[in-house]
């Protein structure tokens, strides 16, 4: 394992990477991975100098290359420290650190600790278990795919220069008839995708109206409330009670309840000279059947 101090290698040394996106491409922002794209409010100079990695594995590969070590023999402690140093740098620059990086960082610490622990002795001739094996395999696989992606990029650029005729209806098809669609390449999932997209677009263009849950106030509820509040002998100020209802609907329900109370001779209603309406509880008792008859 390397003894060198865990200093951050020069991350700007990316000139050898042919796949480094051009600044213009960065500015456009593919926005597909999120996380590692620089905040647009950052000063431009910072954005230019911070290398953009396609993900934690990409960063790991880069560190391995900078340290000039073999993938199959990674100095875990060094790489782990440098990985964390890079995350620290991202944090300093106020970049969002994507969860994937944090996850990978945790894996590296786990691996580092595993490397420190003594491994169980093995039988003669049996190869020793290397805790790094899984990481090595992942990196090798990723490196291969990265290579493929680079050749794809080359071909992609080249093939953008090859154009064909734009599809157009053949002259035999009358204009008012439905155009023939080549269904050969359309799968059920394409149709589902199209439907989903249409629905999504529809939803976007027709946002659902602000939904307020309907507050319901029953006459019987108000009836019970008023009956409970009425105290024999003491006047009950109806106007003030109605003023304290939370909404029109509740006030209307309360008013109807008062009418019910009066109809059943449960209250007497007085109006003062000042205009106040006062309710007085009568001595009559409420029969259950009468209460049930009130609309809920």
Partner 1 sequence: MTERNEMEAAIEAILFVSSEPVPRTKLLELFDEGERELAAEALEAVLARYAPAEGAEGRGVLVEDVGGGVRLATRPEVVGWLRRFFDVSGGTKLSMAALETLAIIAYRQPVTGPEIQELRGVSPAGVVKTLLERRMVRIVGRKEVVGKPFLYGTTREFLVHFGLNSLKDLPPLEEFEETFGSGDASAVAGLVDLAGGPRGEEPGSSDREEEFLREVAELEER
Name which of 107 and 227 has its Cβ closer to partner 1: 107
Nearer to partner 1, 44 or 155 (CB): 155
Q: Using the rule CB under 8 A, is 152 a contact of partner 1?
A: yes
70 near partner 1, judged by CB under 8 A: no
At 186, is the secondary structure helix, strand, or coil?
coil
Cα–Cα distance list, 76 to 111, 112, 116 (Å): 7, 6, 10
Residues 276 and 262: beta-carbon distance below 8 Å: no
Q: How many CA atoms lie within 13 A of 29 on its CB side?
A: 10
CA-CA distance, 16 to 135, in Å (whole number)? 24
Judged by CB under 8 A, the chain residues 93 through 132 that form the site for partner 1 are 98, 100, 104
Q: What number of CA atoms fall less than 13 Å from residue 267's CA on the CB side?
A: 25
Applying CB under 8 A, does 166 fall inside the site for partner 1? yes
Among the listed residues 116, 122, 95, 75, the one whose alpha carbon sits nearest the alpha carbon of residue 34? 95
As a whole number of angstroms, the distance between CA 295 and CA 119 comes to: 79
Residue 14 binding partner 1, by CB under 8 A: no
Is 137 a residue that touches partner 1 (CB under 8 A)?
A: no
Can you tell me the distance from the alpha carbon of 51 to that of 36, in angstroms, rounded to the nearest whole number? Answer: 10
Of 40-59, binders to partner 1 (CB under 8 A) are 54-58
Binding-site size, partner 1 (CB under 8 A): 56
- The residue within the footprint of partner 1, chosen from 49, 110, 114, 144 (CB under 8 A), is 144
190 binds partner 1 (CB under 8 A): yes
Find the binder of partner 1 among 163, 208, 213, 243 (CB under 8 A): 163
């049996």: which residue's tokens?
Answer: 126
The CB-of-67 to partner 1 minimum distance in angstroms stands at 14
Query: Under the rule (CB under 8 A), what is the footprint of partner 1?
Result: 16, 18-19, 21, 25, 30-34, 54-58, 65, 98, 100, 104, 138, 141-168, 170, 182, 185, 187, 189-190, 192-193
């Amino acid at each position: 394992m390397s003894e060198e101090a865990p200093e951050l290698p020069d991350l700007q040394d990316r000139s050898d990477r042919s796949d480094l996106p051009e600044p213009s491409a960065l500015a456009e922002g593919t926005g597909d991975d999120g996380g590692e794209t620089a905040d647009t409010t950052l000063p431009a100079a910072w954005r230019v100098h911070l290398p953009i990695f396609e993900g934690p594995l990409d960063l790991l590969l880069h560190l391995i290359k900078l340290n000039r070590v073999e993938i199959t023999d990674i100095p875990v402690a060094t790489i782990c420290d440098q990985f964390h140093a890079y995350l620290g740098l991202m944090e300093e620059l106020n970049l969002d650190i994507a969860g994937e990086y944090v996850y990978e960082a945790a894996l590296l610490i786990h691996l580092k600790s595993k490397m420190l622990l003594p491994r169980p002795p093995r039988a003669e001739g049996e190869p020793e278990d290397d805790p790094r094996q899984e990481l090595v395999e992942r990196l090798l696989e990723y490196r291969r795919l990265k290579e493929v992606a680079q050749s794809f990029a080359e071909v992609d650029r080249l093939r953008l220069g090859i154009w064909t005729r734009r599809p157009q209806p053949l002259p035999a098809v009358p204009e008012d008839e439905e155009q023939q669609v080549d269904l050969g390449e359309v799968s059920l999932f394409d149709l589902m995708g199209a439907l989903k997209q249409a629905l999504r677009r529809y939803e976007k263009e027709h946002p659902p109206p602000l939904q307020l849950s309907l507050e319901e106030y029953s006459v019987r509820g108000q009836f019970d409330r008023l009956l409970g509040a009425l105290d024999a002998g003491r006047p009950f100020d109806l106007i003030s009670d109605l003023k304290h209802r939370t909404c029109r609907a509740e006030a209307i329900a309360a008013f109807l309840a008062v009418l019910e109370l009066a109809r059943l001779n449960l209250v007497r209603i007085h109006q003062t000279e000042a205009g106040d309406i006062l309710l007085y509880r009568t001595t009559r008792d409420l029969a259950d059947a009468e209460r049930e008859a009130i609309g809920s």
